Chain A
């Protein structure tokens, strides 16, 4: 085949604290290919990319770029040599224009001054050349997430990147936007760029890659031609064991199920627009009610009001037969409600606080952990230790800053904390979004365990595979209304749900009314 542009030889990375992040990694990236690097969070993908990009230095091993061994002094050095990276967190300045962001640090000059005309002209031409539909004079703050990503990619192209590393680029994109990105990547490939695509979403990896390298526990598990490997084989390589796609066998019948939660004629508006219309839902103990739907069809508003984050408007919310719509969040929690929020970094955790502080934040004021004045330190250490062990959260110490954990582990902290209040109703909003397969499976098992012990679970997720695998009963929301209800998921297909989710089909009133029974 074609020549290798970037070769990693026996890369080993041991962090000063003794963590072995990469072990004897060998990968060859060829010119003009789309090469995916897959693995769970914490498998060592990010470290490897940091080594290529000179953010970290390898302990052992060689990097060979364009035929000679290189040792970049800094990221800048890597950029100047034609390696570009699109970070997961955008490195853009919102109040600058697209053109300003692209040229920042390498502005076209006219004497001592910035050549403002050239800034716009050059970036405009660049966007055109690569078929990006973007107005370079608009402010980045006004752009959608996918457009911001385009700006990031243009930044690397402006600096003549030949190898473009994309770190989990689709995590923030809708399926349509993802497809658009993939079209774009194919154009780059045709133009001779090498794309390194980091991801843990296997279907995407399968659809875009020429070759795939699997990393597990810091080691390469092989590089494969896309056409030579199946999804199941990949999954097994990534996780190191077979993954179950159905949880039916783990579900147990709960004796004497009681109605735990009821929504009656629930409606709400935001900015004068009706977001949720006349919702009627019932959840019993020991069942998972799933809400499927494309994001933005009223789920978010529903959850916000239900959990008390926003003001109640209309209808009734009953928890254990008691109206809680005017209760404070604290009262709702006391009544037995727990909540796993969608945006864990913003709403779920205190990033700057320790793992321990986060874990006890729902129970710190119980008599077990707190006296009248002082917290009981020993009890807290024990409690935290138990949670870390039970939920197999990977931490170096209880006092570690939460923000230093991986996404999957942070989500485990959230789930452990919410589980710890022994909730009667668990509201789980996108509980496994953006985390690795192993952690996701683990969290699924925890939810089922809670269900088996008699909790009612309201599961909201845009991930169809997830809602279908977990739910006992399922409603589909479209445009603020329930458009379909299934009291069992046996024989229901994803396609069928898709029609309801897109508003193409609609069940009869009577069928939908059964959701409230």
Chain B
């Protein structure tokens, strides 16, 4: 038992938290940039599945992980353009379009997998490539810190860079200001000459790319193959983390890593003789608790304002 507790305070535990947290962070950033500019993107999960599947497929076709990654970015963009077409151009309900894309992704991915590999379960028979693992020179030799932040997958560092990019974009640039304005009051934004549709289109494309990269992280690093339902609701957890943050990016990141720690705990506890089904519910319980705290807070705020 003591060993288990000790394991939570080790460098390797933090390493695991980052490892399991990165796909969640991709997902929550995806939800964040879309919702900030006033678009509901609940298709994060579906786009992640596509990202994961096509990353594997393109890299196998081209024998190059990098071309595979490029394909992932393209597929993320295509998915978001489809969403944008339905919600912005055809004025379909955003929730409906999102659900449709999610359902489509989860089923079509199995079908495509069957066509490409002959298996409904995994892409093990495809010679897909994996993105490299990066050992940061100098830092990797620093005790503890090196163990925690060095030796992650390539996309881990991309994700961190993108997080910094999103932060600067949202809080330091006019474009970020316009995104917020579009999300808070599109009419007000329009009245001062902000091109609301353009801002939203850019945001949704960014959102799609982030989600697709999250998928690629899973199938081109975390695991070397695509397997059925490998996203395991990470997209939804990202959406929940974004909801907890209520427009504040740092809180979104914080919430994401609370969920990541829960996931890390699961990974550690899995070594014990506990029923794994029960342990696996921990991250989802965390999400529920997070959402409950959020709604209680909102309720109190609403009462106070009354």
Q: Which residues of A contact B (CB under 8 A)?
A: 74-76, 79, 87, 90-96, 100, 104-107, 109, 112-114, 155
Contact = CB atoms under 8 A, between A and B. Distances in A.
B60 to A, nearest CB: 39
B185 A114 contact: no
A92 B173 contact: no
B88 interface: no
Contact of B174 (A79, A95, A107): A107
Contacts of B193: 74-76, 79, 105-106
Most-contacted residue by chain B among A90, A91, A155 (CB, 10 A)? A91
B172 A104 contact: no
A91 B187 CA distance: 7
Contact of B194 (A90, A94, A105): A105
9 pairs of A and B residues whose beta carbons are closest in the complex: A105-B192, A76-B193, A91-B188, A91-B191, A107-B174, A113-B172, A93-B184, A105-B193, A105-B194
A112 B168 CA distance: 10
Contacts of B173: 112-114
A114 B174 contact: yes
A104 B189 contact: yes
Interface in B153-182: 168, 172-174, 177-178, 180-181
A107 B180 CA distance: 14
Contact of A106 (B184, B187, B191, B192): B192
Contacts of B174: 107, 109, 114
26 contacts: A75-B191, A75-B193, A79-B192, A90-B188, A91-B188, A93-B180, A93-B181, A93-B185, A93-B188, A96-B180, A96-B181, A96-B184, A100-B177, A104-B177, A104-B181, A104-B188, A104-B189, A104-B192, A105-B178, A105-B181, A105-B189, A105-B192, A109-B174, A113-B172, A114-B177, A155-B192
A91 B168 CA distance: 26
A104 B190 CA distance: 10
Interface of B: 168, 172-174, 177-178, 180-181, 184-185, 187-189, 191-194
A112 B188 CA distance: 23
Contacts of B181: 93, 96, 104-105
A149 to B, nearest CB: 14
A4 B193 CA distance: 27
What secondary structure prevails in chain A residues at the interface with B? loop
B172 A87 contact: no
B178 A95 contact: no
A91 B177 contact: no
Given A106-B192, A106-B193, A114-B173, 4 more contacts: A79-B193, A93-B181, A104-B178, A114-B174
Nearest to A119: B177
B91 to A, nearest CB: 16
A92 B188 CA distance: 6
A114 B172 contact: yes
Nearest to B183: A93
Contacts of B185: 91-93
B298 to A, nearest CB: 14
A505 B304 CA distance: 36
Contacts of B184: 93-96
Nearest to B185: A93
A141 to B, nearest CB: 10
A155 B178 CA distance: 16
B172 to A, nearest CB: 5
Contacts of B189: 93, 104-105
A91 B191 CA distance: 7
Contacts of A109: 174
Listed residue (B168, B174, B178, B187) with the most chain A CB atoms within 10 angstroms of its CB: B174
A94 B185 CA distance: 9
Given A93-B181, A114-B173, A114-B174, A104 B194 contact: yes
Nearest to A155: B192
Nearest to A114: B174
Contacts of A106: 192-193
A109 B175 CA distance: 11
A184 to B, nearest CB: 21
A109 B189 CA distance: 18
Question: Which of B173, B185, B191, B193 has its CB near the most chain A CB atoms (within 10 A)?
Answer: B191
A376 B244 CA distance: 47
A86 to B, nearest CB: 11
A256 B97 CA distance: 66
B177 A107 contact: yes
A27 B263 CA distance: 70
Nearest to B194: A105
A74 B192 CA distance: 11
In this complex, the member of A91, A92, A93, A94 whose beta carbon has the largest number of chain B beta carbons within 10 angstroms is: A93
B186 to A, nearest CB: 10
Contacts of A94: 184
A255 B188 CA distance: 56
A274 B172 CA distance: 48
A347 B188 CA distance: 24
Contacts of A107: 174, 177
A415 B215 CA distance: 58
A104 B191 CA distance: 10
Contacts of A74: 193
A96 B168 CA distance: 18
A240 B1 CA distance: 91
